[in-house]
Amino acid sequence: MLTERLRSFQARGKELDMLIADPDILKDQRRYREILREHAYVGEVTKGWDRVQALRGQLSGAQGLAEKETDPELKELAREEARSLEAGIAEAEAALKLLLVPRDPRDGKNIIMEIRAGTGGEEAALFAADLFRMYSRYAEGRRWKLEILSSSDTELGGFKEIVFGLSGRDVYADMKYESGVHRVQRVPATEAGGRTHTSAVTVAVLPEAEESELEIRPEDLRVDVYRSSGAGGQHVNKTESAVRITHLPTGLVVACQDERSQHKNKARAMSVLRSRLLEMEEAKKNARESAARRSMVGSGDRSERIRTYNFPQNRLTDHRINLTLYRLDSIMEGDIGGVIETLKITDREERFKADSA
């Protein structure tokens, strides 16, 4: 059964090669991007299968040599090589099975990310700014594009809230594990007595919704325009460019004011609104599968405490996978790739077990 499935991947790879070579496919850029993403995934699977096949061929040769060889020393060397190859095959097959776990269809999407200060007052707002900086550095290393959609800052340079978009290759595949409550333990800049405080910040990761994915009726919206507040000089005081959109059926409110153009602010607000509405639909769906979702690393529950950042001990702990690292300083500089990769592998393992049950 596994071999048949892998052969179907090889056949699909040839189909995708032909589609990519077709100049007409470039006329539909969205479809073209989908094909490229699928091509990359199918290529990863077939590459893993080729590796398994190559190792099996080497194992067959080593076993044949061990049977035919008369010299005891050479015979033992051949047996050692066979044992090593068997271990390599087991490892390669395990990796291949994880690759075959159905991918989240949203993995290739761009995202809208929301960071909000929770308990802890000004210290929580300062940590929200630190998290934004951490994600910005990580995005820069991945060559993703970051665009601030709205923000509300504090006098000390923190953020009560910041909403931004990330676009690039497989953004949601990496960042979906960041949804939840991030707890920080450190001595705040506002603390004169040197005591360690505990604060919290909430992070939400929303896959960016396409217009075709969700129908929003114009009569369900109330659009208000007003003057922007904050930095911006004379322009802020004279132009009603800020936009607030209320989705009447759900009561969701989205406001954007970072652009000088009312049209751009409205487009940004609509993008955030679509993504939040799509998230609500996903939440309803996941609630029906709540028992299974609670056991998954990538459940995306923003009320779940997922991570603790302990600055005095230079320690990061991810509570979902019992991972503890003593290099918080480098992680806060954007070196979070190792944590994300461990979460991705664990999530795939859990999904594989669920599919095999």
DSSP bridge partners of 146: 166
162 vs 268: CA distance, rounded Å: 14
User: At residue 354, does pLDDT exceed 90?
Assistant: no
Span 293-303, average pLDDT: 57
Q: Looking at the domain covering 111-209+295-356, what would its CATH class be?
A: alpha beta
Residue 150 confidence (pLDDT): 85
User: At residue 233, does pLDDT exceed 60?
Assistant: no
Confidence band of 300 (pLDDT split at 50, 70, 90): low
Q: Determine the 3-state secondary structure of 12 from DSSP.
A: helix
The count of other CB atoms within 10 Å of the CB of residue 156 is 13
178 vs 169: CA distance, rounded Å: 17
Pairing of strands 252-256, 242-247: antiparallel
Q: Looking at the domain covering 2-99, what would its CATH class be?
A: mainly alpha
User: Which pLDDT tens digit goes with each residue over 36-75?
Assistant: 888 888 888 899 999 999 999 999 999 999 998 888 888 8
Entry pTM: 0.73
Domain residues of the chain, as ranges? 2-99, 111-209+295-356, 213-286
CATH node for 213-286: 3.30.160.20
Residues 176, 193: contact at Cβ < 8 Å? no
Range of weakest confidence among 189-198, 207-216, 234-243: 234-243
User: Which pLDDT tens digit goes with each residue over 142-186?
Assistant: 999 999 988 888 988 899 999 999 999 889 999 999 999 999 999
Question: 174 Cβ partners below 8 Å, 6+ apart?
Answer: 142, 340, 344
Residue 37 confidence (pLDDT): 81
